[in-house]
Chains A and B, each alone.
With several copies, the nearest count.
Chain A
Amino acid sequence: MAELGLREPVIFELSRPGRHAGTQFPPRVAGTAQVPAHLRRAAPPLLPAVSELQVVRHFTRLSQMNFSIDTHFYPLGSCTMKYNPKVCHTLASLPEFLGRHPLAPESQGQGFMACMYELQEMLKDITGMQGVSLTPMAGAQGEYAGVAMIRAYHRAHGDLARSEIIVPQAAHGTNPATATMCGCSVREIPCDANGDVDLDALRAAAGPQTAGIMLTNPSTLGVFERRIEEVARIVHDAGGLLYYDGANLNAILGKVRPGDMGFDVIHMNLHKTFSTPHGGGGPGSGAVGVGARLLPFLPIPLVGREGGRYRWLTEKDAPQSIGRLSGFAGNAGVNLRAYIYMRLLGREGMIRVAEYAALNANYLMKRLQAAGFEAAYPGRRASHEFIITLKRENRDHDVTAMDVAKRLLDYGFHAPTTYFPLLVPECLLIEPTETEAKEDLDRFCEAMSAIRHEMAHDPGKLSAAPHTMPVRRLDDVRAAKQLDLAWKPAA
């Protein structure tokens, strides 16, 4: 028998026929109601039969195998892993909020709707937009809503040929994928050596087929697109609209507004900038904001206010809307958490977000440069994040960005984003966020320096990393080849 490791069986392995967490079963109800025999289930579903303690212990132990904001510095670029205030969860979990049925009448929703209305208003102000819809359920769905509105706008103007979306190379994968999903074709344009959009390429691309451009600014290269006004002019002159991917709003909160830069539509990742949790893969909320031109097309429902009462605005109020994107009104609970967070931050707090996010990013970049690492855009200010490229280290020591990422785990840090954006070789995209203390940035630098030392003196440590996690490096190739996607009982 082995000593304790953090290994934990698959829950089905704890299962025994006849075992259960019986207090969770409802009382038996008298009656004779039955499903017709031919529609009845033949055999019970394969689910574990375990006790309540086993469930609690199993999942508690699993949880301990995760890195998370609550346990580790997590500088995952483009993901804005900052502190998720506990109170947002506590208050969004008040019994009345949790118990409110989405189709409850407005008379049983004035409290909740007041929060949503005020959230819409605050987001308008922050982005410099004219209207906001909270229904998209994540960034990518916000993007979908945005591109769909652009298409609807052109269609409404009889401009049926505009079906091409311009996307800079550095764009997040969801941008081109969204364009396709919206039935558009994608035209990628390059960035120049400083990370700015290649304006000539943009001019060449823009034309009567252009529906719009999707841009994030600062871009995922971690730098601010300085000629944004020129970009806007080119696209608008060509008859296209500008889409702002607001996943990175943390970089500019209170500093500059997408509406003022000339954007027509924006989605925001409330689960990043406004600190709702990531939950190991969601939920998110991808609220969209629009300028005047796109107002009629916002996805429904919206919360309106009339004579001191709140009411849902639906198909009837917005006949040109691109329609509904969710079964009810989006990820309401995520929006509620964002609302709470924004009230806690307030105006001053919101402005500070971008300031300290930028301070941390620029400081960390500078220190890593001093430690010998190469910044991808050394001449530029970092925004809220920045890129280190390990192409030199890769050449000299045959180590990869992935090796460094895995080795960082051993030092107690979550790895930065690796291999994105795709156009920078062996890159680490590093986003410390404003909620981390200087000492933690310093400790991260120390770890990176230690790893740097290992590259030269003990490279095996890197290629075999991690060493201290519940598992060693996993075989991704095998995972994709010998698909094991669901547990099966031993035959």
Chain B
Amino acid sequence: MPFIPHTPEDVAGMLATLGAASIDELFDEIPAGLKGARLAGVPPALSEMEVARLLAERAAQDGRPLCFLGAGAYEHHIPAPVWAIASRGEFYSAYTPYQAEASQGTLQLIYEYQSMMCGLTGMEVSNASLYDGASALAEACLMAVRANRGSNSRRVLMPRTVNPTYVQVARSIAANQNIAFEIVDFDRALGRTPVESLRAYGGEDFAALVVQQPNFFGNLEEVHELTDWAHQNNVLLIGVVNPISLALLSAPGQWGGRGADIVCGEGQPLGVPLASGGPYFGFMTTRMQYVRQMPGRIVGRTVDIEGRPGFTLTLQAREQHIRRSKATSNICTNQGLAVTAATVHLSLLGAQGLERVAQACLQRAHDLVDALCRVPGVKPAFGPPGFHEAVLTLDRPVAPVLAALAARGILGGLDLTERYPELGQALLVCATETKTDADIRAYAEALAAVQGEGLRAARGAA
């Protein structure tokens, strides 16, 4: 029987011990009328060999196009040791480390992870992960409302330069607690959130201001000014950051005079494959003063009865299994395995490697924008890219161009036309350190060809 080790003798012996005539008898407390599921919709069992072949065929269907898509999920080199280690059975098949003494491996790893995330973001404490970047922002908003003792507001200032999907998710999760988002517009020329646009909200009461750095367009926000404005107005500052970019960019803990209050983001760039969108992991760091408002698991270092250092889950009084309806969040299972990968990843890169990656991402985005904007009809929407993404505008509808590129094996970026109509026929493109000169050239040539075809088609039609 697949995965079931019982021999006929085992079963007979066990039933005898139970004084039961059949296994089915063990289900005799289920009302007879309810019992029995035919599972007609579940196909018969396949052997591993057959499943392997099926999945290999499905995978082959999806191919391996050259990817210039970003928008929240980024292709990076993942060192081979990362998943060699994360796939080890002792990490892969362990539960949440409830029995600390039998889980020191996972616990020490999480402690190291927390330390690294604090280091990266310049904050004092980190949790052990949230589901993903989008839901982490939702949790950050909920947390800010709880944590901001100086405010009674359930309103959060949300710039339009924040990833629109994140805003959707934050809304899905926070709206049920009557938390509202005040949308803040951006500067059309610069593609960022001018502190002036906040001035309008001066005397009003808000729990928090969200700032994404680099923002959804790949541009850099004036984080220092924005943070200072927030603090001057009793508003907590939630930073949404790309962890790779932090090798180059000001740590949120150093934003403005006092630093951000809550920092969150998507951990995927740290060793987690694109993989159709998950499992990724959300990270969250904050000041020590807010630690009891933080959602999620936290690991602490302590000592055993012999005084030797060891690690354990701590501050569990915030959590659902202890505090139940009064917990800081309902989160329980989080993203341990992805965190394992990220911890190995960060250990391999270190500050120096991360900086090399970040610098390459910055440069590659510049190179990409330069190359694409040499194609007739393509223009940058704003200035040069702030990190690895940028918005371009085309002289024609974006969707057919992307479809034509896809047919040539190139994922050309994200069509922004619906989400940001004010930008016109806009396209968000991305290049990370994985892209070579040849890749960028291939995209530019394909785009030129597609634009040219369009031109010819248009001429033909005229």
- Asked if chains A and B are in direct contact (CB within 8 A), the reply is yes
- 15 CB contacts below 8 A, A to B, read A24-B48, A51-B3, A87-B79, A99-B67, A141-B131, A177-B320, A277-B93, A283-B281, A323-B171, A328-B165, A329-B278, A356-B6, A363-B14, A483-B125, A485-B125
| A485-B334 CB under 8 A given contacts A330-B277, A348-B45 | no
A44-65 CB contacts (< 8 Å) to partner B? 44-56, 58-60, 62-65
A436 and B301 contact, CB distance less than 8 A:
no
A1-53 CB contacts (< 8 Å) to partner B? 6-8, 10-12, 15-31, 33-36, 38-42, 44-53
B103 and A66 contact, CB distance less than 8 A:
yes
A263-284 CB contacts (< 8 Å) to partner B? 269, 271, 277-284
| A350-B42 CB under 8 A given contacts A45-B354, A71-B89 | yes
- In addition to A51-B5, A434-B3, 13 A-B residue pairs with Cβ atoms within 8 Å of each other are A16-B9, A40-B249, A46-B118, A48-B350, A62-B108, A81-B95, A284-B333, A327-B132, A347-B45, A351-B37, A355-B23, A359-B26, A483-B125
A333 and B83 contact, CB distance less than 8 A:
no
Residue picked from B17, B101, B103, B276, most chain A C-beta under 10 Å: B276
Tell whether A480 is near chain B: CB-to-CB under 8 Å.
Answer: yes
Interchain nearest-CB distance for B383 vs A (Å):
10
* B residues less than 8 Å from A49 (CB atoms): 350-352
Tell whether B452 is near chain A: CB-to-CB under 8 Å.
Answer: no
Tell whether B148 is near chain A: CB-to-CB under 8 Å.
Answer: no
Residue picked from B28, B108, B323, B348, most chain A C-beta under 10 Å: B348
Determine which of A89, A348, A351, A480 lies in contact with B315 in the assembled complex, contact meaning CB atoms within 8 Å: A480
Tell whether A326 is near chain B: CB-to-CB under 8 Å.
Answer: yes
B92 and A327 contact, CB distance less than 8 A:
no
B114 and A343 contact, CB distance less than 8 A:
no
| A53→B223 CA distance, assembly (Å) | 39
| A31-B131 CB under 8 A given contacts A279-B340, A281-B106 | no
A278 and B93 contact, CB distance less than 8 A:
yes
Please, what's the 1-or-0 string for B126-157, where 1 marks a CB less than 8 Å from any CB in chain A? Answer: 10110111110000001000000000000000
Residue picked from A83, A172, A328, A482, most chain B C-beta under 10 Å: A328
Determine which of A36, A110, A125 lies in contact with B220 in the assembled complex, contact meaning CB atoms within 8 Å: A36
A173 and B279 contact, CB distance less than 8 A:
no
Interface segment among B181-189, B201-209, B363-371: the answer is B363-371
Interchain nearest-CB distance for B315 vs A (Å):
6
A256 and B305 contact, CB distance less than 8 A:
no
The count of chain B contact residues (Cβ–Cβ below 8 Å) is 219
Interchain nearest-CB distance for B272 vs A (Å):
9
| A86-B176 CB under 8 A given contacts A44-B355, A126-B42, A343-B51 | no
Tell whether B327 is near chain A: CB-to-CB under 8 Å.
Answer: yes
Tell whether A435 is near chain B: CB-to-CB under 8 Å.
Answer: yes
Chain B residue nearest in CB terms to A415:
B99
| A31-B366 CB under 8 A given contacts A111-B62, A409-B99, A486-B115 | yes
A65-98 CB contacts (< 8 Å) to partner B? 65-72, 74, 76, 79, 81-87, 89-98
B402 and A105 contact, CB distance less than 8 A:
yes
B411 and A101 contact, CB distance less than 8 A:
yes
A358 and B26 contact, CB distance less than 8 A:
yes
A67 and B102 contact, CB distance less than 8 A:
yes
Tell whether B337 is near chain A: CB-to-CB under 8 Å.
Answer: yes
B88 and A60 contact, CB distance less than 8 A:
yes
Determine which of B165, B223, B302 lies in contact with A475 in the assembled complex, contact meaning CB atoms within 8 Å: B302
Interface segment among A201-209, A221-229, A234-242, A451-459: the answer is A221-229
A280 and B351 contact, CB distance less than 8 A:
no
Interface segment among B52-60, B227-235, B373-381: the answer is B52-60
Chain B residue nearest in CB terms to A354:
B27
| A351→B35 CA distance, assembly (Å) | 12
Please, what's the 1-or-0 string for B60-101, where 1 marks a CB less than 8 Å from any CB in chain A? Answer: 111111010101110101011101111111111111111111
A325 and B135 contact, CB distance less than 8 A:
yes
* A residues less than 8 Å from B83 (CB atoms): 93
| A121→B40 CA distance, assembly (Å) | 11
| A181-B278 CB under 8 A given contacts A144-B173, A278-B96, A323-B171 | no
Chain B residue nearest in CB terms to A358:
B26
Determine which of A51, A114, A328 lies in contact with B4 in the assembled complex, contact meaning CB atoms within 8 Å: A51
A474 and B310 contact, CB distance less than 8 A:
yes
B6 and A464 contact, CB distance less than 8 A:
no
A10 and B108 contact, CB distance less than 8 A:
yes
A103 and B275 contact, CB distance less than 8 A:
no
Tell whether B197 is near chain A: CB-to-CB under 8 Å.
Answer: no
B172 and A325 contact, CB distance less than 8 A:
yes
| A173→B332 CA distance, assembly (Å) | 9
Please, what's the 1-or-0 string for A452-491, where 1 marks a CB less than 8 Å from any CB in chain B? Answer: 0000000000001010011111111011101111110000
